[in-house]
Structure 1
Amino acid sequence: MSSRPTMTRPGYNQLNRDRNEPRNFLDNIKMNPKFRNAENKVKETLNDMPAILTDLQLKNLDNHKYSCVGNTFLDPIFQPFWRWLVEQIPMNIAPNLLTIIGLIVNVITSTILMLYSPNANEELPRWAVFLCALGLFIYQSLDAIDGKQARRTNSSTPLGELFDHGCDAISTVFVAIAFTVGLQFGEDPWTMFSMVFLAMGAFYTAHWQTYVTGSLKFGTIDVTEAQCTIYLIYLFNSFFGNSIWFYKLPVLNFELRYMPVVVATFGSVSSIFSNINTISKGGKGKNGSSVADSSIVFPVFPLMLFIFLGFSIANKSETIYLDNICLYLLAFGIVWSKITIKLIIAHMTKGEIFLLDSCLIGPILLLLNQYFSYIIPELPVLYFCLVIATADLIKYCSKVCYQICTHMNIYLFKITPPSQPNITSKSH
């Protein structure tokens, strides 16, 4: 991405036109004194929080350059649509605003499925499944054009890449759970557990190899193809109902719903092994180390600790997972999201990876509660795990974004006015 060109301050006539333009709904909200007071209080709170990124990490972020290798099969087919779509977006809409809107839509539609079938074993309303297909399509589309909008508006910064990939991490959790809910895999809970954890493992190893090599690698069959497959399955469900997946194939003698499982498992496992193979060849740093000149192997340990906690807690208890499947997977998925986002940040800022994190408080409490013979009922502890993990994730991401915005003199959800100084960007 080329540097942001030097922009001159708008002339009097331009400023006068801007003043005379009618304000939209969001502008009216922002001008409300109550909104401004709330905004100032949030800024004061974030400013008082301890810094997460060091000065060196922020300096490294300034010099970060987005790099990717490869192209998926469907990306060239979708490109004309994405190019047309971005042209419909007003020039004053920030790229990160597109990303967060897509994520919110995807989270809401996926959560609706979980609420209708919390243990993934109930018939789903067809409208809810169709809504989930639409939500994933909207997320895919907005996620694909946020970078185009950034280039179009000369507002590309490393924060855009970080925000994009962070939202992808959170979306992966909700999509994986909702997908298995749509196939009613609560009746085979350990298959559901494996599919969700494999999806998270594939995403994590993709960014692990990025931390090692400095480039995000895409395969011929990758995220675009996976998303298309999932919302096509949702559409299939919305037309024919969930019950069709229980049809037994006459020759193979197993239920039709296991066909997507085989494909998804093969795709996730192939991706994981491909990423590990790339990692094993050495990194971009000194003597084959990571971009941060650290061990290329160490990022596996936070992942293994997460998997150990997730499996051992579910396996030891007779009820915590089997009676609360979606809640359990969502709680651990939020924990995984923070671990993965920290890996993404470590790559972009050339920072270190640490084994322990505050997001593990909930899972560790669940483990200790089991060790001490369930002195507290498990369900309240599981809810506490979800709440504290979500709060911890929001707090962490908010502070990181605030630090970067302050450092680069940019806004998160608003395009920086041309008259304000902005960092020379080398990001996507």
Structure 2
Amino acid sequence: MKLFKNKLLSDAQLKKLGEHQYLCQSVSILDKFLQPYWSWLVLKVPIWLAPNSITILGLFINIVTALILVWFAPDAKTEPPRWACGLCALGLFIYQSLDAIDGKQARRTGTANPLGELFDHGCDSISTVFVALSACIAVQLGHYPGWMFFQCFCAMTLFYCAHWQTYVSGTLRFGKIDVTEAQFTIMVILLVSTIFGPSVWSKTGTSVLSPVIPFSMVLLPAIVIYQKSIQDIYQNHPSLYILSFGLVAAKVTNRLVVAHMTKSEMEYTDWSLMGPAMLICNQYFNTFIDEYYILWLCMIWVSIDLIRYCHQICEEICDYLHIELFRIPYPSGTSKMSSASPLATETNGTNYRLNRLPKSRNKSKHF
């Protein structure tokens, strides 16, 4: 018995669906290393097991392990048990492995069809939500609700934009650093939380790993944009590219110095990251605007942000210490240091005494 009587797809849509051909281009770095493992794994799967069953099994495991993590830390602030982080990493690995072999199983059994592609990508869209949330819980990102909001919805947006690009171009493209690399990065994050405890990432923690996170938010976008650029933005404009990301790195480094001197923790969020975000969004929207102009806009943005930050920091410190940045504030009624100052007198006197030494003492003895 059918549960829903109203048709969602018209006859014309179903006809086009039957004519659909899956087109994919991938230059993923990890995929070529994992292909032997995936080819071996699919041979261990029973020939009678349907490809969609493999997909849904992986999604189920991923959701269950992620929900265990959510159960222990629903606010993303509470420290979850280490074993829960490890279990979530294992669940993500199983999901990634099964997701990689469902297509191989379909070709192996001669059951490849458009429904399989739709089912696979539909499960991926659901998995993205749980993977992003579990990563935030593992690093206790609930202490930064704004950044947690951005991270989760950024992952969902990027997934949507990747398929929007496919809708426009007709081909699903994977860059050198793409979904597989992102999934393994999250596995590493979960494993670090398993080994060292989730507090290793938190603001209240004492780990030296915390300052690495803001800098990685500069380095990773720089690598991703460089690898995925269809206009070879780095190769054609290396100086402008390095200046744009270098100024973001300079801003993050300045904040690290301030955090050290003020004995405080670094915040993960930074307005300068909006610059790289412009380039990433433009790429996922099929480079709607020429990347060269976006790169210039990025450099202008990060330059203004760096100048604003440095000016405000210096102004606040000067106000607190009652000093001036580029001028020595002499007390009123006193003159500047002259050559007759104690230091100058002592120095001049020393020189005078040295010059007045007897000649016999100034000359070295000859043997």
| Superposed counterparts of 1:351-362, under 5 Å | none
Q: Quick one: distance in 2 between partners of 1:264 and 1:191?
A: 17
Q: Which has the larger radius of gyration?
A: 2
Give TM-score, length-normalised by structure 2.
0.60
Deviation for aligned residue 1:256: 4.3
State how many pairs are aligned: 235
2:72 to 116, 129, 135: 116
User: Which residue does the alignment assign to 2:3?
Assistant: 45
Report the CA distance between 1:70 and its aligned residue: 2.9
Structure 2: any 5+ residue segments left out of the alignment? 226-276, 291-367
3-state SS of paired residue (1:123) = coil
Which residue of 1 is the match for residue 242 of structure 2? Answer: none
Distance 1:131 1:261, change over 3 A: farther
Check if 1:66 corresponds to 2:22. Answer: yes
| 2: CA distance, partners of 1:60 / 1:79 | 32
In 2, Cα distance between equivalents of 1:256 and 1:130: 22
Identify the residue that residue 182 of structure 2 maps to in structure 1: 226
Partner of 2:54: 98
Q: Is it true that 1:84 corresponds to 2:40 in the alignment? A: yes
Where structure 1 has 5 or more consecutive residues not aligned to the other structure, the ranges are: 1-42, 282-428
Q: What pairs with 1:10-409 in structure 2 (closer than 5 Å)?
A: 43-46=1-4, 49-246=5-202, 255-258=211-214, 269=277, 271-278=280-287
The structure-2 alpha-carbon separation of the partners of 1:260 and 1:96, relative to structure 1 and needing over 3 Å to count, comes to: farther
Per-residue deviation, residues 116-141 of structure 1 (Å, max 9, x unmatched): 11110011101100000000000000
In 1, Cα distance between the equivalents of 2:121 and 2:108?
A: 20
- Percent identity of equivalent pairs: 49
Provide the rounded CA distance (Å) in 1 between the counterparts of 2:91 and 2:282: 30
Match of 2:285, SS? Answer: helix
Deviations 1:38-88 (A, max 9, x none): xxxxx3323xx2000000000000100001123211000000000000000
Partner of 2:29, secondary structure, is coil
Q: Structure 1 residues 279 and 207 mapped into 2: Cα distance closer, same or farther (>3 Å)?
A: farther
Do 1:209 and 1:278's aligned partners in 2 also have CA atoms closer than 8 Å? no
Deviation of 1:233 after TM superposition, in Å, equals 1.2
Number of the residue aligned with 1:304: none
CA shift, 1:255, in A, is: 3.7
TM-score (norm 1): 0.52
C-alpha contact (below 8 Å) 1:182/1:242 kept by paired residues: yes
- Provide the C-alpha distance between the structure 1 equivalents of 2:38 and 2:214, rounded to a whole number of angstroms: 32
- Mapped to 2, the partners of 1:157 and 1:76 lie a distance apart of 24
| Partner AA of 1:126 in structure 2 | R
Alpha carbons of 1:112 and 1:263: their partners in 2 closer, same or farther (altered >3 Å)? farther
| Alignment root-mean-square deviation, CA | 2.2
CA contact (8 A) 1:209 1:279 kept: no
Separation in 2, partners of 1:167, 1:161: 10
Deviation of residue 254 (structure 1)?
Answer: 5.9
Cα deviation code 1:274-328 (max 9, x no counterpart):
12234569xxxxxxxxxxxxxxxxxxxxxxxxxxxxxxxxxxxxxxxxxxxxxxx
| 253-262 vs 168-177, which moves further | 253-262
* Highest RCO, 1 vs 2 (Cα 8 Å, sep ≥ 6): 1
Q: CA deviation at 1:243?
A: 1.8
Provide the C-alpha distance between the structure 1 equivalents of 2:108 and 2:31, rounded to a whole number of angstroms.
19
CA-CA distance at 1:273 after TM superposition:
2.2
2:80 alignment partner, SS class: coil
